[in-house]
Amino acid sequence: MTIKRLLPFIAATFICGGSVLVEARQPKSPASVVKTTPKPTIKPKAKPTVSQPVQPKWKLFTAPDGRFSILMPGSPNRETQYQKTYMGEINLEIFVAQPPKQQVAYIVTYNDFPYSYGEMSDPQAVLNNARDMALKTTKSNLISQRNIRSSNNHPGKEIEYINSGGKITKSRMYVAEGRLYQVMAITTKKQQKTLAKTITGYLNSFQIVLKK
């Protein structure tokens, strides 16, 4: 299925670089203070101040079309990709948030299937195909997987995988009303240990809003 090639490619494209930095700044030496005594007294230099990595401010993000909501670390950047397939042109919507000085990217993507295909396709087949292509495209090994359901009972799958560079992706995929969603957090082994609870909370906050 051609559509299965689209979404997993995001994992390879939007992985953030950089590292966690702790900056130490040496303050300027204070001027000497001359007292009335014969010998001037010099004030000792202040210790360098250490600034901690900026902690992102999480807030609720609602998709422009109102069809999903999720907690994100700041306002995500949006990009639209277009792909021609045998089903017609598919639009892939991508939302990416990358906190400064952290090796992690929070990503939500979705695409709508043409109506006829969405009506005929098996949701589990779509999810399995998306999983297989994610592993193939990113040259990753599967760590774990389980079948899940959205809060409003749409079928889904959670997978976790690691690529040859040591980047770990934890992803939850859902099929709902002719649309495939992928909610991902991509990070390093080191950052995953410190961000495990944050990533779980991020994934848990994803809500599908049904069409009225």
Summarised one tens digit per residue, pLDDT across range 28-62 is 444 444 444 555 555 556 555 544 445 678 999 99
Domain 2-12+66-208 has CATH 3.40.1000.10: yes
The residue with greater pLDDT, 121 or 204, is 204
**Structural domain boundaries of the chain?**
2-12+66-208
CA angle 15-77-64, nearest 5°? 130
Tell me how far apart the alpha carbons of residues 30 and 88 are, in angstroms, rounded to a whole number: 69
Tell me how far apart the alpha carbons of residues 181 and 69 are, in angstroms, rounded to a whole number: 12
Residue 156 and residue 174 in contact, taking contact as beta carbons nearer than 8 Å: yes
Could you report the per-residue pLDDT of 142-185, keeping only the tens digit for each?
Answer: 999 999 999 999 999 999 999 999 999 999 999 998 899 999 99
| 209 conformational bin, left if phi > 0, alpha if psi -120 to 50, beta if neither | beta
Could you report the per-residue pLDDT of 86-103, keeping only the tens digit for each?
Answer: 566 788 999 999 998 889
Residue 124 confidence (pLDDT): 92
User: What backbone torsions phi and psi does residue 27 show, to the nearest 5 degrees?
Assistant: -70, 155
CA distances, 205 to each of 72, 83, 125, 201 (Å): 9, 29, 25, 6
Residue 9 confidence (pLDDT): 43
Q: What is the largest CA-CA distance in the chain?
A: 95
Tell me how far apart the alpha carbons of residues 34 and 42 are, in angstroms, rounded to a whole number: 8
Residue 204 confidence (pLDDT): 97
User: Is this model's pTM higher than 0.75 or not?
Assistant: no
Residue 3 DSSP code: G
